[in-house]
Structure formats: structure tokens, C-alpha cells
Amino acid sequence: MSIEEKIQYYKESLDIFEDTMDKYKFLLEQGKNSKKFPEEFRQDNFKVKGCQSQVWVVPYIENDLLCFHTDSDAFLTKGMITILADIYGENLPTEILSSDFDLIKQFNLNIILTPGRTNGVYSMLNQIKNYAETFSKK
């Protein structure tokens, strides 16, 4: 699936739920289903700055595609970073850079997330974008 198709998939998945608590549960489930995080990468240089909780995003290249190991110490945040890694991971860095990073408005997360968590999601997106910029130059 393309980045846009994945964005649409998660938007539709969140739109199914009318109740805010059900949307929270969906985000929590995404975190529970995340891939195991390699402990050797739980380092400060991989932490996302600007998040209320601790979030790690570790880039790596596999078959010329930019991929991410992700984790968080907060369940809701872990769900969000898992979704973002699924959307943007396993793509060419140039594809990531040319995609739409304004997910908050598309997912309407600003309605269910606190301003602090919303800012944290923007920080996660910026980190992914920064990694894509770095790897697009290689």
C-alpha cells in the first residue's frame, strides 16, 4: 500500500468509532500489536524531543527502503508511533518527503488528544521527516 492508502486506511479505521474511548482503544491496540523493539536502540540519541512520554524512532535501510524501529513508554503514544511507522516505513525516503505530513487534521486526533500529545505527534512526524531527508541524501 502507498503512504496515501495507509493514511486513508487509518482514517477510515478511526472514523468507524463515534465514541472517543473506542478511538483510544484502537490506538492502544495498535501499540499492543507493534513489533518488538531492539533493546540496544533504547538510547537518548534515538529519542524524539518534544514528546511528553519517551518515544524512540530508529531508522534503518532495508532493500533501499527507509524503515523504522519504534517504541514508547506510554501505551497511547506507542500506538501512535506504531501507526506512523506503518504509514511511512518501508518507503523510499523521497516518497516519504513528498507525502502529506498533516496527519493530525486528517485523523481528527486533535479532538481526542490533549494539546501536549498532539504536539508530540507533530514531533514524531518531524523526526520521521528528518530521517527521510538524511537518507535521501545518501
Contact 132/92 with Cβ under 8 angstroms? no
pLDDT at 104: 66
67 as an active site residue: the answer is no
pTM over 0.85: yes
Residue 110 CB contacts under 8 Å (≥ 6 apart), including other chains? 104, 118
pLDDT digits over 87-119, tens only?
999 999 999 999 988 776 788 877 778 888 888
Predicted confidence (pLDDT) at residue 138 exceeds the cutoff of 70: no
First vs last Cα of the chain: how many Å apart?
25
Q: Which residue of the set 51, 57, 66, 81 is catalytic?
A: 51
59-62 long-range Cβ contacts below 8 angstroms, 24+ apart: 59/131, 59/134, 59/135, 61/135, 62/90
